[in-house]
Structure 1
């Protein structure tokens, strides 16, 4: 079993669950958000073992689960415990493959509201458009559209999400018109909140001010 360690202490509790495919640098990137969470009054624990999702008492006492675990396999019990904790009020948040390219089994993506399907080869320049219908949402309020050189995710999504930003795929050999794909969204799951951003393949993606701000705000928004 992996080590679960406390990094600081205060009033609210965050649990960072990280692992899976190393290409998304789950430890390196998730560590960059720990100081931000500490600054906002969280006790932060990390776990590099999905067995933490078998500890229902810990999940119930957690205000925010930050998941950064690409691919891998989750058991039905682990999935059910996580979903039950969110339904009871624990927040869930994550970015890129760490939340939407995780655990393609046991209906996990019903919880996240979206599922990774593909991305064009390599990195390329593309843009993200913020939703004018949600311009006053605390995750994106005051921010503008932005461009990035990174992976662009094509995802399938649940209609019961609030889409805060989209990205557009151009016409290609398979599609005769552009495709507007959700890229940042929020949803509720019972009493809990879920935040997802599909941006964040590599550390320097978070040097784009809007990416950093949206992710940080999303963590706070999702938390109980």
Structure 2
């Protein structure tokens, strides 16, 4: 239960874009968690919210699930300015790294961009980075298996990679390729959290996926 005497932080869930990633259904999985963690939670189904500087300045965490779509330069500038001033930014899968494909400033914010995934859902293992075992997002967790889309992403070298997955050698590659799957990023005074897993709601039935995402939301918040 949330302590009624504890000041509320404010979370804003921004959801829309391609419906194949179930933006309402999956973000609704985390709204009760955020409320139980002491957040007042609002939702928005338009990117115009990113131009409301006063509202974003009063927001401690933006959770975005908006796949593909178009964002205006003004909207990007508003979001980036808010994060650099301290508003946290977090999300999963295509809702954060397959958003606004043509906007380089947005990609600099997230530190990564989706490029490709093998057809369908594939069994693969997520490996936690041993050198980051002391990070609060990873405490008590170990490597785990998932059956979902495996994202090939292009990432900025200035991210803190917490978990990876391996694309095996095969027809497209003559050697295995280690790919970032979960990472964080500092942007000015703000924190960014990205989890590349989360195409479908039952991906979050995997305890480690759920734990990493919940911890990432709290970590990113102001």
Range class of TM-score, shorter chain: over 0.9
**What does 1:159-174 correspond to in 2, within 5 Å?**
159-174=157-172
Instruction: Specify the alignment match of 2:120 in structure 1.
Output: 122
Cα distance per residue 1:53-75 (max 9 Å; x no partner): 11111111100000000000000
**Residue 215, structure 1, aligned to residue 221, structure 2:** no
For residues 201 and 187 of structure 1, the distance between their equivalents in structure 2, rounded to whole angstroms, comes to: 22
Instruction: Specify the alignment match of 2:97 in structure 1.
Output: 100
Instruction: Specify the alignment match of 2:25 in structure 1.
Output: 28
Instruction: Specify the alignment match of 1:6 in structure 2.
Output: none
What RMSD over aligned residues (CA atoms) do the two structures have, in Å? 1.0
**Residue 85, structure 1, aligned to residue 87, structure 2:** no
Instruction: Specify the alignment match of 2:3 in structure 1.
Output: none
For residues 106 and 28 of structure 1, the distance between their equivalents in structure 2, rounded to whole angstroms, comes to: 26
Which contiguous aligned blocks of 4+ residues in structure 1 show a shift greater than 2 angstroms? none
C-alpha displacement at 1:174, in angstroms?
2.2
| Partners of 1:183 and 1:198 within 8 A in 2 | yes
Instruction: Specify the alignment match of 2:129 in structure 1.
Output: 131
Instruction: Specify the alignment match of 1:57 in structure 2.
Output: 54
C-alpha displacement at 1:97, in angstroms?
0.2
For residues 138 and 16 of structure 2, the distance between their equivalents in structure 1, rounded to whole angstroms, comes to: 28
Gaps of at least 5 residues in structure 2 are 1-5
Cα distance per residue 1:162-209 (max 9 Å; x no partner): 000000000122211000000000010000000000000000000000
Instruction: Give the SS at the match of 1:35.
Output: helix
Instruction: Specify the alignment match of 2:181 in structure 1.
Output: 183
For residues 105 and 86 of structure 1, the distance between their equivalents in structure 2, rounded to whole angstroms, comes to: 20
Instruction: Specify the alignment match of 2:44 in structure 1.
Output: 47
Instruction: Specify the alignment match of 2:71 in structure 1.
Output: 74
Cα distance per residue 1:68-123 (max 9 Å; x no partner): 00000000010011000000000000000000000012321100000000000001
Instruction: Specify the alignment match of 2:15 in structure 1.
Output: 18
| Partners of 1:10 and 1:43 within 8 A in 2 | no
**Residue 38, structure 1, aligned to residue 35, structure 2:** yes
| Partners of 1:13 and 1:61 within 8 A in 2 | yes
Aligned length: 216
| Partners of 1:89 and 1:193 within 8 A in 2 | yes
Gaps of at least 5 residues in structure 1 are 1-8
C-alpha displacement at 1:142, in angstroms?
1.1
